[in-house]
Amino acid sequence: MSTLLRCLTVDGAVMALAADTTDMAARAEQIHKTSAVVTAALGRCLTAASLMGIQLKGADDSVTLRIKCDGSIGGITAVSDSAGNVRGYAVNPVVELPLKPNGKLDVGGAVGGGMLYIIRDTGGVEPYVGCTPLISGEIAEDVTHYYAVSEQIPTVCSLGVLVNPDLTVKAAGGLLIQLLPGCPEETITQLEANVAALPSMTSMLEAGLTPADIAARALEGFPFEILETAHPAYHCPCSRERVKRALAALPPADRAALPDENGEAEVTCQFCDRVYHIKM
């Protein structure tokens, strides 16, 4: 079971979210049968989306993290609801690249250059869309850059996915720290020192640290309280009725081209690979 904590320092200056998302990353790998580097990239995106989604207020709100890129992965989409439940996919689920010189998976090489889009649907007439160029393709750095440039929120993001030799997920998780308005300068200085001393997310996960452990390390020296503990999962809300409504919304010419010789249209959900056969 994945676990996500939302924490706040008692002076209200710093918010931190820490998550173990192993189960959701593992489920994504099982569904999409991704190669190692794609498992890492998609797992990071799903984790980031969950950390963003849990901050939404409305029960029907959602946030979409979309990467449009020129790397061999082709692009990634991850969607979270306000409970942190996620779904997602990579355009190309199997990408094979050599490891980086440090022995790590080359997520940045698989993603390449492009744009990061954050789309928040909170029930308004139009969803909010923010975007920034990718600066590394490693996802965490790109999320940090997005918050700084598009939303002007000083943010630290760390994401990690450990992949076993048999391509299953050993561990996955993330940390998101944000300075809130009025944060004192001395708090910023201490927090910067804490962040600089943090091991990588994959190192902390491999060492068995829990989200509470990770949050405590990041907020060392600051009294804080845990505002929320959630257990998000990989969840796709697709259904036969949703598919029927989507088909009904297509232009008549497009609908006419879908049925096979038996008058049925075959539709595969990109998020969960469930196949629907709809009588047209």
At 129, which CATH number? 3.55.30.10
12 domain residue, yes or no: yes
Average pLDDT over residues 35-56: 97
Quick count: other Cβ atoms within 10 Å of Cβ 244? Answer: 16
101 domain residue, yes or no: yes
Residue 107 has pLDDT above 80, yes or no: yes
Domain match, 18 and 109 both: yes
Tell me: the pLDDT tens digits for 213-229?
Answer: 999 999 999 999 999 99
66 domain residue, yes or no: yes
Domain match, 177 and 273 both: no
pLDDT band for position 124 (cuts 50, 70, 90) = confident
50 domain residue, yes or no: yes
Domain match, 220 and 249 both: no
How many domains are there within the chain? 2
Q: How far is CA 210 from CA 49, 51, 195, 214, in A?
A: 19, 16, 17, 6
User: b or e along 44-82 (b: 16 or more beta carbons within 10 Å of the residue's beta carbon)?
Assistant: bbbbbbbbbbbbbeeeebbbbbbbbbebbbbbbbbbbbb
Domain match, 202 and 257 both: no
Domain match, 11 and 106 both: yes
More confident residue, 260 or 27: 27
Enclosing domain of residue 255: 240-279
Give the residue from 230, 248, 267 where a domain finishes.
Answer: 230
Domain match, 114 and 162 both: yes
pLDDT band for position 31 (cuts 50, 70, 90) = very high
Domain match, 98 and 194 both: yes
Domain match, 129 and 263 both: no
Domain match, 244 and 116 both: no
Average pLDDT over residues 23-33: 97
3-state helix, strand, coil in the chain (%, to 5): 30, 30, 40
Domain match, 247 and 213 both: no
Domain match, 154 and 255 both: no
pLDDT band for position 265 (cuts 50, 70, 90) = confident
Strands (E), the chain: 3-9, 14-20, 62-69, 76-81, 86-90, 114-121, 128-133, 155-163, 169-179, 224-230, 264-268, 275-279
235 domain residue, yes or no: no
248 domain residue, yes or no: yes
Cα–Cα dist 236/241, whole Å: 14
271 domain residue, yes or no: yes
Domain match, 261 and 131 both: no
Residue 241 has pLDDT above 80, yes or no: yes
The pTM is what? 0.94
Cα–Cα dist 123/91, whole Å: 28
